[in-house]
Amino acid sequence: MQYNLKSLWEMLESFNITSSEDEKTIFCITENQKDNLLKTLNDEQKRLFFSYEDYMSNLIEIERKEAFIKGVKFATQFFLEATGK
């Protein structure tokens, strides 16, 4: 079976990664703060906020993929140097 980086990334994305208790706590606090903020915003401000959230999510996803690719490149280079190829 032949793998490329995209299929490997999709396979790794399918794993259910559990978060630590600290992450869960921070997530809950963040969500509560977000709910409190949304109560104070008008419709235009909410639209801008949700647009901002979408752009940030996309940016985070791009950064995760770039970090993955850099990790694979590093591991490949390390393996090639370690095996003398």
pTM of the shown model = 0.61
pLDDT of residue 18: 65
Q: What are phi and psi of 40, to 5 degrees?
A: -100, -5
pLDDT of residue 13: 73
Question: CA angle at residue 84 from 78 to 85, to 5 degrees?
Answer: 90
SS3 category, 19: coil
Beta strands in the chain (DSSP E): none
Q: Give the model confidence (pLDDT) of 23-62 as tens digits.
A: 889 989 999 999 999 999 999 999 999 999 999 999 999 9
pLDDT of residue 3: 61
Q: What are phi and psi of 3, to 5 degrees?
A: -115, 145
pLDDT of residue 85: 65
Task: Please determine, for residue 17, whether its predicted confidence score (pLDDT) is greater than 70.
Answer: no
CA 7 to chain centre: 17
Angle between helices 43-83 and 21-40 (to 10 degrees): 150
